[in-house]
Amino acid sequence: MLKKIFRNPQAVIGLVMILFITLIALLASVLAPHDPMAVNISMKFLSPSSEYPLGTDQLGRCVLSRIIYGTRYSLGIAIPILFFLAVIGTTLGTLGAWLGGWFDRRLTIICNIFMAFPPLVVVLALIGVLGQGILNLIVAIIFSMWVWFVKVIRSYVLIEKNKDYVVASEIVGCNSAQILLRHILPNLFPVMIVYFSTGVASIILMISGYSFLGLGFGTDIPEWGAMLNAGKQCLYSKPMLIVYPGLCILFTASAFNLFGEALRDILSPEEV
């Protein structure tokens, strides 16, 4: 498996990009030349120089430092969200598919109701009632997306459950917990990684979209979507303030998409 990943150029590119972003996020405090929050009105809209490699924004803050710190916000929010979604999705999806019966029927009805709401609508409505803020945004995104994760993992388990080896383990006398935890879930691990990896990409896009709409982050926080939101006021005079954060979002989302899709190609070569 690992060998196949290293032989697939697309997977390697994706992985290197992910590692690169992670390193920047971890080393942000070392790499950033300035304090990303330090306001200095007299220095606003500076052109790139050796002091400020990407210039300064409308409040005189160092654009490069803000972009570097932005990786922390994007990854630092997307990964916990993914973790919760993965836990909820795996637990409910597996239980539904494995137990069947009334539990599965009720789960399916609840899922159908939740799936009637496009995620954007759920998040907007929840932010509308919970109020703005990072924590509320995280809750709202989890609330809007859990059902999709449950559905997907449930369908994976349903397919896997009917395979011969499951019947064989039942005959040998394994109990449900053993079959699920030792056999089915480890076998599903690779396809789940594919789904989670492309999931991170869409979560990152979502977060930036919501903060662009002005939900979630204040303009002082160096998050890419919030930077775009602040930059749109000077769309004419300083288009670069919009270009840089957008490029970062594009780069990060492509990294996870490239890796996830390459992994999918490796797992099911007949579909390539």
Partner 1 sequence: MKYLKKIISLLAVLIGVSILSFMMANISTIEPAEAIARRAYSNPTQEQIAKIRLEKGLDRPIAVQYIDWFSSSLQGDLGTSYQTNQPVVGEMADKLKATLSLTGAALFWVVIFVVPLSILSATEKNRFWDHLIRGITVLGISIPSFWLGFLLLIAFAISLPIFKVVDYGNINSLILPSITLALPVICSSVRILRATLLKNMKQDYVIYAKSRGLSSSRIMWKHILKNSLPPVVTIFFQNIGMMIAGSAIVETVFSWPGLGSYFVSSIINRDLPVINGCVLVFALIFVLANTVGELTNRMLNPRMISGKELVTIA
For binding to partner 1 (CB under 8 A), which residues are involved?
109, 112-114, 116-122, 124-131, 145, 148, 151-152, 155, 199, 201-202, 205-206, 208-209, 212-215, 225, 228, 232, 235-236, 239, 242-243, 246, 249-250, 253-254, 257-258, 261, 270-272
Shorter beta-carbon distance to partner 1: residue 8 or 254: 254
Shorter beta-carbon distance to partner 1: residue 75 or 201: 201
> Please, what is the minimum distance in Å from the beta carbon of residue 228 to partner 1?
6
> Please, what is the minimum distance in Å from the beta carbon of residue 188 to partner 1?
15
> Please, what is the minimum distance in Å from the beta carbon of residue 29 to partner 1?
26
Shorter beta-carbon distance to partner 1: residue 105 or 182: 105
Check if the beta carbon of residue 157 is closer than 8 Å to that of residue 93.
yes
Shorter beta-carbon distance to partner 1: residue 59 or 124: 124
Check if the beta carbon of residue 53 is closer than 8 Å to that of residue 97.
no
Shorter beta-carbon distance to partner 1: residue 33 or 246: 246
Shorter beta-carbon distance to partner 1: residue 112 or 176: 112
Check if the beta carbon of residue 222 is closer than 8 Å to that of residue 73.
yes
> Please, what is the minimum distance in Å from the beta carbon of residue 13 to partner 1?
10
> Please, what is the minimum distance in Å from the beta carbon of residue 119 to partner 1?
5
> Please, what is the minimum distance in Å from the beta carbon of residue 42 to partner 1?
27
Q: Residues of 96-111 as b/e, b for ≥16 C-beta within 10 angstroms?
A: bbbeeeeebeebeeeb
Shorter beta-carbon distance to partner 1: residue 36 or 231: 231
> Please, what is the minimum distance in Å from the beta carbon of residue 194 to partner 1?
13
